[in-house]
Structure 1
Amino acid sequence: MGGERLPFANGVFTVVTCLDVLEHVADPGEVVREIGRVLAPGGLFLFDTINRTWLSRAVMIWGLERVLRIVPRGAHDWHAFVTPAEMTGYLGAAGLTPVGRMAGLMLGSRRRDGSFQNRLTRDPSCTYLGVARR
């Protein structure tokens, strides 16, 4: 079972999150439609994904997979990354309305434990997040 076929009745959730998922599924539009199906009227969909740009390719694939080796090599396929325009289309097709503007998420400084401190930006050219309402 995957995100394309959720085992829940229509309209049963007030919040659904989908973080670091859409760039790993065969049909992100279908996953978003399925999320729309299980959201109750007025429910919120919180998401993040990776934009399909040269910057995301450099950071997410070259930097994190090949240079820093933080992410397993081959974990990301640049062609599967989702542009904000595509995401807006998926939301509309699912009956979801964006709330506010999508925000960019950039890798910040590296912490002592090896993790990264991320920061929000207005630039969605690498990764971005957003909220939509049913």
Structure 2
Amino acid sequence: MCYLFLTIPNLFAIGILLKVIEHVANPAEFCKSLAALTVPDGATIISTINRSMRSYATAIVAAEYLLHWLPKGTHEWSSFLTPEELVLILQRANITVREMAGFVYNPLTGRWSLSDDISVNFIAFGTKNCQ
């Protein structure tokens, strides 16, 4: 996983970070950097994995060890964020979460879709507050 932050403030109108934040060492600083690069009222979309027993069973045990969809050790359960933690981190970074939804995979169709179930994967949409 690789990412680069430029030092030019207010550069992007939208930041899309899918399945990244659970791999960074300091999610709060990561989100502050993201906010610094986002224009006022700019959008932020973040998807991640909830820190729940169900996510441990599906994202680690099933995906890494049983189904071998991912290399073993890709995820560390303690690095997952709950929806409440992500909202708080984003608020402290001057980003207001406007919507949140679950993100579920259907193995029969091979497709992802939005859901009310945020117990494993979820996605949040927020906007940077005007200063």
Q: Same fold (TM over 0.5)?
A: yes
* CA–CA separation in structure 2 for the residues paired with 1:50 and 1:30: 19
1:126 aligns with 2:124: no
Structure 1 segments, 4+ long, off by >3 Å, are: none
- After TM superposition, the score normalised by the length of structure 2 is 0.91
Give the SS at the match of 2:28. helix
State the partner residue of 1:106: 104
**Residue pairs, 1:51-130, within 5 angstroms:** 51-100=50-99, 102-111=100-109, 116-130=110-124
Matched-pair identity in %:
29
* CA–CA separation in structure 1 for the residues paired with 2:117 and 2:28: 23
- After TM superposition, the score normalised by the length of structure 1 is 0.89
Letter in 2 for 1:107: Y
Cα deviation for residue 8 of structure 1 reads: 3.4
**Structure 2: 5+ residue runs without aligned partners?**
none
State the partner residue of 1:27: 26
Letter in 2 for 1:105: F
Cα deviation for residue 109 of structure 1 reads: 2.4
* CA–CA separation in structure 2 for the residues paired with 1:109 and 1:69: 14
**Structure 1: 5+ residue runs without aligned partners?**
none
Q: How many equivalent residue pairs?
A: 127
What are the Cα deviations for residues 78-117 of structure 1, in whole angstroms up to 9, with x where unaligned? 00001111101111111011112x1011121245xxxx31
What are the Cα deviations for residues 1-52 of structure 1, in whole angstroms up to 9, with x where unaligned? x65x711311111011111101111111111111011000110001100000
State the partner residue of 2:16: 17
Instruction: Give the RMSD, CA atoms, in angstroms.
Output: 1.4
* CA–CA separation in structure 2 for the residues paired with 1:110 and 1:71: 19
Letter in 1 for 2:52: T
* CA–CA separation in structure 2 for the residues paired with 1:59 and 1:119: 16
